[in-house]
Structure 1
Amino acid sequence: MSATPSRLATFLAPLLLTATVHAGKLVGPGTISTSLQETSVALTPDGNTLYFMRSDFSESDDTILVSHRRDGRWSAPEVASFSGRWHDSEPTLSPDGQRLYFVSNRPPRGGAAPVTASMGGHSFAGTNLWYVARRADGRWSEPAHVDGALNDGAMIYNPSVAASGDIYFSAHRPDSGAAYQIYVVHPRGEGYSVPERVELGDVARNRMDPAIDPRGRFLVYAGNEGDALGRADLYIAFRQPDGRWSKPERLPGEINSEALENAPSLGPHLGELYVASNRRDPVSFPKPADDMASLQRRLEGPLNGSRNLWRFDIAGVLHAHGIER
């Protein structure tokens, strides 16, 4: 009897921390990754259309943009057809590319007020989950609100959709502890089940931004399990034979740094991982003397401390756990 991926994981788990992770590449430097804040990649199944979020440094003005790959280069981004009026962020595509989910503070129904949330005595733009569907002409439908308990509390972030229709997301809910945890809902008739917290360990640990494998075999997320190099690192957990999740492990190699890494998403190819990071070019003093041109060029470049989009390959990590395709 051949070993299943889960059985292989038992024997190969120690290899995770030494599995090969190829060096990251900045996505579209100067075009997609700029001196502003960019996060949350959503790639179409053919890999040629990329949706992402761009915002100011305070992240109070979020908009979803779209770019197309032409002759190996990403086109100048445009505002997505369904975005540009509200605080829209964190796009994600269903594995078949027929739905794009995102979160927004737009009113959930006609005549309602924009969604607001409060935490720690502060009020801010809240979020509900929305989606647009692919029409026969290839365009997106008008946004549709996802009704149900998953939108309770007005703080739902970074949805990720499995091929089964399960939606994973991070949220602050009554059983989240002091910060955020990851939840999942399952399709039920015309709606979804009540959110279930994904059990990954002590809720004292902050966990956000899930990226679920379309087949549900592994989950990548941002957080701090006590060994993060920066404010947040990226971790991976694997589905076990009994349906529970393995103990999360920090992803190896250059994926994590002393900067902030978050908002992971999976590309259409096995091991293709997109990450938002505010890592920057190092500055040491005394530095080469700047003139105004060199100073402006450096401060307006992507690696000025703003969040940018990076692409990594974690196929080696997956292979070490018996996941080959």
Structure 2
Amino acid sequence: MIKTMYCFLIATNSIFATSSIMAKELDTRIYGPYLGQTPPGQTAKIFAPRILSTSKDREYTISFTPDLKELYFTRMDADTNKWWTMTYKQKNNRWYGSTLAPRVGRPTLSPDGNTLHLGNKYISRTDSGWSQIRSLGPMFDNKDWGIMRLSSSSSGTYILDDYKNGDLLRISEVKNGVRQAPKPLPAQINTGKWNAHPFIAPDDSYIIWDGERDGGYGDTDLYISFREPDGSWGKALNLGPTVNTDAGEAGGYMSPDGKYFFFNRTTSAGNGDIYWVDSNFIKVLKTQRYTKR
């Protein structure tokens, strides 16, 4: 078993390291930003149906580079039940898709687009593509932790989940140039069940995660906590009916231009797709949060 896992990691490392050479690209013949999709309004809709979001497979956890010319996500093949890390890249305004490697963690790009976080591991951009998979180090290699998604801000703050310890969310900041050990976020965030898949704004102004708690819409919902002026985290706010339904919503993500909010929705039938919606509702939530103080 150990030998099999070792061979799998070596193979995965190799694929990521040479993905720009090995991955066969599919020409979508689609042009324009956001895979040529018509932007959503205040009603969430499936992102790139029949292109990225398929009716057969399950797609999760999307992430874009700052120039919006690359995107990464995960897909579970319905025939094999295996998860893969996928990408679409824009060249001369035209989009090309490819499969990078078996999934290792939930891929989330750093704000500068040069690091792809993969749970407690990561890959870095190189002149020829991506580096081999690397560890984030002893602070994050704890075998008693179960990190699915790690999100980073421009200041280097990490937000991460841990499914092995009561669905706990942790934060790791950088102070005076030194990485701080991850510590649990406060009780208003680590409340209820299934807290997972956190996202932190590039400017550290808010965090978004999914979980199940009293007063929700049914299954897992998406929540937000805004950073207070004193640096603490505000109370958890349900993102409301713009996003949440009686299905399961998870994996929230804000586009680098701040215009659109992306998330996953899984129905009771097990179908999972990536949705997007105009992000203005989050600005409204923030305004309401402070005007009601």
The TM-score bracket by the shorter chain reads 0.7 to 0.9
Matched residue, 1:321? 286
Name the CA shift for 1:69/1:227 in 2 (closer, same or farther; >3 Å): farther
Matched residue, 1:277? 265
Name the CA shift for 1:157/1:36 in 2 (closer, same or farther; >3 Å): same
Matched residue, 1:55? 76
Matched residue, 2:10? none
Paired residues of 1:162 and 1:214 also in contact (CA < 8 A): yes
Of Structure 1 and Structure 2, the greater strand share is in: 2
Q: Which amino acid aligns with 2:84?
A: T
Could you state the TM-score of these two structures normalised by the residue count of structure 2? 0.75
Q: How does 1:1-325 map to 2 (within 5 A)?
A: 22-34=42-54, 35-56=56-77, 61-69=82-90, 75=96, 77-80=97-100, 83-84=101-102, 87-103=103-119, 129-137=120-128, 139-152=129-142, 153-172=144-163, 176=165, 179-187=166-174, 192-201=179-188, 203-206=190-193, 207-279=195-267, 305-319=270-284, 321=286
Q: Which amino acid aligns with 1:136?
A: D
Structure 2: runs of 5+ lacking an equivalent: 1-40, 289-293
Name the CA shift for 1:260/1:316 in 2 (closer, same or farther; >3 Å): closer
Moved more, 228-237 or 142-151: 142-151
Question: Residues of 2 paired with 1:150 and 1:214: CA distance?
Answer: 21
Name the CA shift for 1:167/1:31 in 2 (closer, same or farther; >3 Å): same
Q: Which amino acid aligns with 2:132?
A: E
RMSD (Å) for aligned C-alpha atoms: 2.8
Shift of 1:147: 1.1
Q: Of the two structures, which has the highest relative contact order with CA contacts closer than 8 Å and spacing of 6 or more?
A: 1
Name the CA shift for 1:230/1:161 in 2 (closer, same or farther; >3 Å): same
Question: Residues of 2 paired with 1:319 and 1:268: CA distance?
Answer: 19
Which secondary structure state, in structure 2, belongs to the residue aligned with residue 268 of structure 1? coil
Shift of 1:204: 4.8
Structure 1: runs of 5+ lacking an equivalent: 1-20, 104-128, 281-303
Could you state the TM-score of these two structures normalised by the residue count of structure 1? 0.68
Identity score, percent: 22
Name the CA shift for 1:320/1:172 in 2 (closer, same or farther; >3 Å): closer
Matched residue, 1:292? none
Moved more, 304-313 or 250-259: 304-313
Shift of 1:279: 3.9
Paired residues of 2:45 and 2:275 also in contact (CA < 8 A): yes
Question: Residues of 2 paired with 1:249 and 1:226: CA distance?
Answer: 12
Name the CA shift for 1:140/1:191 in 2 (closer, same or farther; >3 Å): farther
